[in-house]
Homo-oligomer: A and B are copies of this chain.
Amino acid sequence: MVLRLSQLFLRTLREDPVDAEVASHKLLVRAGYIRRAAPGIYTWLPLGLSVLRKVEEIIRQEMAAIGAQEVHFPALLPREPYEATNRWTEYGEGLFRLQDRKGADYLLAPTHEEMFTLLVKDLYSSYKDLPLSLYQIQNKYRDEARPRAGLLRGREFIMKDSYSFDVDDAGLDASYAAHRAAYLKIFARLGLEVIPVAATAGAMGGSKSEEFLFPTEIGEDTFVRSASGYAANVEAVTTVVPAEVDYSSAPAAQVLDTPDTPTIETLVAASNQIFPRPDGEAWTAADTLKNVVLAVTLPTGERQIVVIGVPGDRAVDLKRVEANIGAFLPVAGEIGLEAAGEEDLKKHPLIVKGYLGPGMSLDQALLGSEGNAKLLYLVDPRVVSGTTWITGANEAGKHVYGLVAGRDFTWDGVIECTEVRAGDPAPDGSGPLETARGIEMGHIFQLGRKYAEALDLKVLDQNGKQVTVTMGSYGVGVTRAVAALAESNHDAKGLVWPRAVAPADVHVVAVGKGEDIFATAEQLSLDLEAAGLDVIYDDRPKVSPGVKFGDAELVGVPTILAVGRGLVDGVVEIKDRRSGEAENVAVDKAVDYVVNTVRNS
């Protein structure tokens, strides 16, 4: 294939698009790969489509290699299956909903668990039919609140989504492992660094889940890793829990006047004055129990107050709370979460702002579903039985000292809820954690039987008994992969595609005006094509060398072959886009030289 720039539908732009903040977005638009059609919705131009197809093809090959079979579902789907799993509601505002001319409800699918489950139920009925893995590469729709960063967070985007069906847990483990390995191969072939991290299942449900994160400063996901290989999304990090403490000889708690100490800082300062620590050390924020009041908006629209008790030196991380609070709420689904406001507090007069505590004794509990305020009370995992705390006494200007967890107060549950800090210990004992940011390129889930149960997907097992199928779900962001590739493969001059996904193998530039220059460049392009390479040929007659080289570097094909002044000496210049290294090569050796470069890279 020879794409001639005199005819190719391409206009490179000198200026960054005004709405673009990240490099991939700027460069993909400027180099003529994509064009914005609406917020978070993009059109693929010829060069972009070429890269996209190559990414898709690599994914297809690796899916085929693990025996997954390709199908293709509609994007426009009826409400009923999503109603059966409650996701019609749970997805909240993120779902594009519409009605047809008869008033029937439809959605634009954000993911297809329900439909795959129903399809397998429709056609299969025996354990002999399993294991089965099906996939599709297909448009997905999510009405993001803040579509941003070009293809990185779009509202119409392409995903590869697979689903595995197994008769038992061991089968699911094997299907999950096969997909995990395939994903690592896909990203390796794309030349895209990814880190598999433990993740929470979120709205998808299920037990085990891992994300494949592409590490980048512009990522929206925060993750942690230890030098020895532990890695997890912050939502999924588990706290190293201290040992329980024997409190049999702990003194009784006492209430002291602590005027004007509504903050942890003022409380610690006052405490060191009025009630010095028995061992002579200074109290720190870690000795206080901070009770944070949050307002949860349930999927039903109802607003519920939750109090979370954490050591005073730790901030509450709302994303971690959101990922883990589901188990304690009466309704599943997407929730809203924020600090409680004045209006919320007015409805709960027992909450004394700045002096809130769980109560002085188990008999006089304020917080917790059994307490006087009837408020759900969850605590950080560091609040273990026997630990002793300074905390609010539920009266303005008073705190309680020596309040013992498990003796004087209790809680409704333990929740991973505080910010994870660099230096915190990894839960597997592999050392201190460091934090980093990344973008989710893939996500794999052991869904288990959630969808199969909701939609009644059963098969006969070897004993002729009906058993519920266990499922996995596995996604790769295809459009997002193109963006991540651009993000990690560019320099100041433009894009620098890895060969596996480049829109062409070589970019031939005719520099100058001589007829022989154009004739030679044309012939070399045809010869390169005949050798099986994809060629972009800049045959534009009246365009300056500066513009042509600028465009070649912006477009980012790995090898640039320039036919110009050197032709009188019988040479052309062959340049590696990434290293910038150039070499003069005899015209009659040029095709072999390029072919070898392509083969050996």
Contact = CB atoms under 8 A, between A and B. Distances in A.
Interface of A: 7-9, 11, 32, 35, 37-38, 41-46, 49, 52, 67, 69-78, 93-94, 96-98, 100-101, 106, 108, 115, 119, 122-124, 132, 134, 139, 141, 143, 145, 155-156
Contacts of A100: 96, 143, 155
| Residue among A42, A76, A100 facing the most chain B CB atoms (10 A cut-off) | A76
A72 B478 CA distance: 15
Contacts of A98: 96-98, 108
Given A44-B71, A132-B9, A143-B100, A155 B38 contact: no
A123 B42 CA distance: 15
Contacts of A8: 69
B72 A44 contact: yes
Nearest to A1: B64
A46 to B, nearest CB: 5
A536 B412 CA distance: 59
B134 A38 contact: no
13 contacts: A37-B78, A38-B74, A38-B76, A43-B74, A43-B115, A44-B73, A45-B71, A46-B70, A75-B139, A76-B96, A96-B98, A97-B98, A98-B98
A228 to B, nearest CB: 40
Contact of A119 (B7, B35, B78): B35
Given A49-B71, A73-B43, A93 B97 contact: no
Contact of A46 (B45, B69, B93, B106): B69
Contacts of A41: 74, 76-77
A43 to B, nearest CB: 5
A14 to B, nearest CB: 14
A101 B106 contact: no
B75 A37 contact: no
A182 B41 CA distance: 31
A5 to B, nearest CB: 12
Contacts of A38: 74, 76-78, 106
A141 B9 contact: no
A46 B74 contact: no
A70 to B, nearest CB: 6
B141 A76 contact: yes
Given A37-B78, A139-B139, 6 more contacts: A44-B72, A44-B73, A46-B69, A49-B72, A75-B156, A76-B96
Given A98-B96, A145-B101, A134 B9 contact: yes
A122 B35 contact: yes
Contact of A101 (B44, B93, B124): B93
A240 B115 CA distance: 55
| Residue among A7, A42, A71, A78 facing the most chain B CB atoms (10 A cut-off) | A71
A141 B101 CA distance: 13
Given A37-B115, A71-B49, A106-B38, A124 B11 contact: yes
A70 B97 contact: no
A207 B378 CA distance: 71
Nearest to A122: B35
